[in-house]
Amino acid sequence: MMESISHNKAGAACGTKAPSIADKVRFLSATDAYPHAPASVVVLETHMSYVFLAGDKVYKLKKPVRYPFLDFSTIKARERNCREEVRLNHRLAADVYLGVVSLTHSAPRGLALEGGGEVVDWLVAMRRLPQEAMLDRLIAEDRLTGAHIDALSDTLADFYRRVERSSITAEDYVQRFFREQEKNRDILTRRDFALDHGRTPILLDLLDARVVASRSQLEKRVLQGHVVDGHGDLRPEHICFCDPIAIFDCLEFNAELRQVDPFDELAYLGVECALIGAKILGPQLVDKVAQRLSSEPPRGLVSLYAAWRAMLRARQSVAHLLDDAPREPAKWEPLATRYLNLAQAALAADA
């Protein structure tokens, strides 16, 4: 999902014209752009941002992009998003998010962080977290312990207990599943993708049937107050076992997609952990968080959530190939197939 390049020398100045995104990336890739003078800067590129690992700090610059689900095309929109990202992530990673920093430009000085010129963009500033303490690394290196799982269960249960309840209606909650399934079917059945086109429509039909059969249960989750304004992107690479545990990079750009059943998020995390080899972690977290919340979800609903999340991730994977210049094009179809395997396993769990 990310590409990285190391930098330690300043790029060329962008002159007196308005700086382009390339000018901004070039400037922020240089060590002398930062007041704390890091020894080097590593640049990561995601679908929506450039991330600059500058010593013990991290800076995120939003790309000026527009998609159906977000609009970062103006400076004002990017500032608003940066501030929302900091606000929301303070719920689970208050020690990590340092604030919002302006990127300025003036004729004599050029680009500067929080300089005296015109504001030309905004960045989220963060404390850099230890990679060796990330959940995905612990899984990959077989270092995850029962104590880790208990601590994560405590953190998540406390978050879901105190976080704001969602105002979404039961009808809107259910309709989101049907809308996303329409998108899944549109993308995943395209013949130009190297997927199993005998199996994929069958899985989509099975998932449609499960959503229809589970409609009353889904509605009840809303009516009983279980749906919350959650994290929205709960993946192992967003969980760090520092002190306290930091769960960061929540989905800030679309409030609707954060309106989730906690056990939907846990099923999503379980899918992502299974993808990297920890198949039993998801069910363990569901059990432990349910115990802590004294709220046992219908088991069939948890497997539905897992199948739906896996299908959604399969779609998102191949959708990268619809970009004009997709990054890592060889990656996405095999990854989508792995997600389809997980969707099939989840659908079979309660068959």
Instruction: For residues 170 and 261, state if they share a domain.
Output: yes
**What's the alpha-carbon Rg for the chain, to the nearest Å?**
21
What digits encode the pLDDT tens for the residues 259-276?
999 999 999 999 999 999
Q: Which of 128, 156, 174 is the last residue of a domain?
A: 128
Instruction: For residues 7 and 143, state if they share a domain.
Output: no
Which residues touch 116 (CB under 8 Å, ≥6 apart)?
104, 106, 109
299-319 and 332-349 helices, crossing angle to 10°: 170
Residue 235, domain extent: 135-349
- For strands 70-71 and 97-106, give the pairing: unpaired
What digits encode the pLDDT tens for the residues 28-66?
999 999 999 999 999 999 889 999 999 999 999 999 998
Contact 5, 44 (CB under 8 A): no
Instruction: For residues 249 and 329, state if they share a domain.
Output: yes
Instruction: For residues 326 and 211, state if they share a domain.
Output: yes
Segment (H or E) for 111: strand 110-113
**pTM, entire model:** 0.91
Q: What CATH number does the domain containing 243 carry?
A: 3.90.1200.10
Question: What's the pLDDT score for residue 5?
Answer: 43
Which residues touch 28 (CB under 8 Å, ≥6 apart)?
41, 43, 50, 52, 59, 61, 103, 123
> What's the one-letter identity of residue 256?
E
Instruction: For residues 205 and 345, state if they share a domain.
Output: yes
What digits encode the pLDDT tens for the residues 221-266?
999 999 999 999 999 999 999 999 999 999 999 899 999 999 999 9
> What's the one-letter identity of residue 92?
L
Instruction: For residues 84 and 110, state if they share a domain.
Output: yes
Q: What is the C-alpha separation between 305 and 269, in angstroms, rounded?
A: 11
Instruction: For residues 294 and 332, state if they share a domain.
Output: yes
Instruction: For residues 119 and 154, state if they share a domain.
Output: no
More confident residue, 83 or 109: 83
Per-residue pLDDT at 6 exceeds 70: no
Q: Three-class SS of residue 61?
A: strand
Q: Which of 128, 151, 169 is the last residue of a domain?
A: 128
Instruction: For residues 116 and 223, state if they share a domain.
Output: no
What digits encode the pLDDT tens for the residues 108-150?
889 999 988 899 999 999 999 999 999 999 999 999 999 999 9
What are the beta bridge partners of residue 137? Answer: none
Instruction: Please count the structural domains in the chain.
Output: 2
In the chain, what percentage of residues exceed pLDDT 70?
Answer: 95
Per-residue pLDDT at 10 exceeds 80: no
